[in-house]
Amino acid sequence: MSSTIAASSPSSPCPYVTTVVRPGGIAVVTMAKEPVNSMDLAMWRGLDAALQSLEADPSVVAVVFTSGLRRDVFSAGNDLLELYAPKTSAARYAEFWVAQNAFLVRLHRSRLATVAAIRGACPAGGCAISLCSDVRIITPEGTMGLNEVQLGIPVPKFWGLLMGRVIGHKVAEGILLSGRMVGAAEAAQLGLVDDVVPAAQLMEEAMSRAAAAAKQPPAARAATKLLLREDFCKGWEAYYPTEPDFGWRFLSSPSTIKVLEGAMRRLSSNKDKQQQKPASKL
């Protein structure tokens, strides 16, 4: 029988997540966990705490999510150490899973106008954050996708369903089953993103999009958004606390552990190579 885990409120700020509210009530939430914004429990909680705080402030009307990394990565997705069974536990994984989905549902139904400013790679959890945002803008070299299948992990149900709502079920299914990452030009063609913008103009365009959305009567905009998304969010909310049982069975299987070990070895090798390069080339 599946168990149900309640989402807990973040207890402390996350050093990797910073929030600045600019004139006009537009907030910028920056993720900066070097080297690739791998999403661990603290980071998901930090994002949720930031969003809750912004939603509670009546002067804030919009929020832009962006990366503060040195390299072109929005977020590489979930930290593999949160998924690698030998280094974690079923209880920790359940806590992690509930925290990230609690944030994603909150983001998708937020009263705020939300913009994802995507610089570079945006797989898995980074893609989920972007899909939950109202507007997605990406740089020309960027890629997006829910590539879990390539890591031997099933795509989370409501993450996949949300992609289907954005670009259509048939197209989304083909991308999800292959674990394929979609380039910026194709993403724009499919409607996975709203625009492709050079990196130097990314934040300017994101702020412009946020400001344009904020000009609409906020109560009417928020109510319409809720009418369009609330049934989906309620279904997601009811489902995600039951997912950790299924997920843990998958993650603790020898075949999944083997695939994740290979992925971690590749990441470690790439990290070593990067550290050997001059700092100016990172």
In a domain, 9, yes or no: no
In a domain, 117, yes or no: yes
Say if residue 278's pLDDT is above 80: no
Q: What is the pLDDT confidence band of residue 176, given thresholds at 50, 70 and 90? A: very high
In a domain, 75, yes or no: yes
Tell me how many domains the chain contains: 1
Q: Under 8 Å CB-to-CB from 282, ≥6 apart: which residues?
A: 70, 71, 274
Q: How far apart are CA 41 and CA 53, in angstroms?
A: 18
Residue that the structure tokens 């103009």 belong to: 201
Q: How far apart are CA 178 and CA 147, in angstroms?
A: 8
In a domain, 228, yes or no: yes
Q: Under 8 Å CB-to-CB from 144, ≥6 apart: which residues?
A: 118, 122, 123, 127, 130, 136, 138, 181, 182, 187, 192, 193
Question: What number of other Cβ atoms are within 10 A of residue 219's Cβ?
Answer: 9
In a domain, 95, yes or no: yes
pTM above 0.85, yes or no: yes
The first and second tokens of residue 269, run together, are 């090798």
156 and 125 Cβ atoms separated by less than 8 Å? no
In a domain, 169, yes or no: yes
In a domain, 7, yes or no: no
For 210, the domain range is: 17-281
Residue 252: φ, ψ to 5°: -90, 5
Residue that the structure tokens 């997912």 belong to: 243
Question: Which CATH number does the domain housing residue 249 bear?
Answer: 3.90.226.10
Q: How far apart are CA 187 and CA 165, in angstroms?
A: 14
Q: What is the pLDDT confidence band of residue 140, given thresholds at 50, 70 and 90? A: very high
Question: What number of other Cβ atoms are within 10 A of residue 33's Cβ?
Answer: 22
Say if residue 8's pLDDT is above 80: no
Question: What are 83-92's contacts with CB under 8 Å, separation 24+?
Answer: 83/153, 83/251, 83/260, 84/251, 84/257, 84/260, 84/261, 84/264, 85/248, 85/251, 85/252, 85/256, 85/257, 86/257, 90/244, 90/248, 90/252, 92/41
- What value does the mean pLDDT take over residues 187-204? 97
Q: How far apart are CA 128 and CA 97, in angstroms?
A: 13
Q: Over the stretch 24-71, which tens digit does the pLDDT of each residue have?
A: 999 999 999 999 999 999 999 999 999 999 999 999 999 999 999 999
In a domain, 118, yes or no: yes
Q: Over the stretch 81-129, which tens digit does the pLDDT of each residue have?
A: 999 889 999 999 999 999 999 999 999 999 999 999 999 999 999 999 9
- What value does the mean pLDDT take over residues 204-233? 95
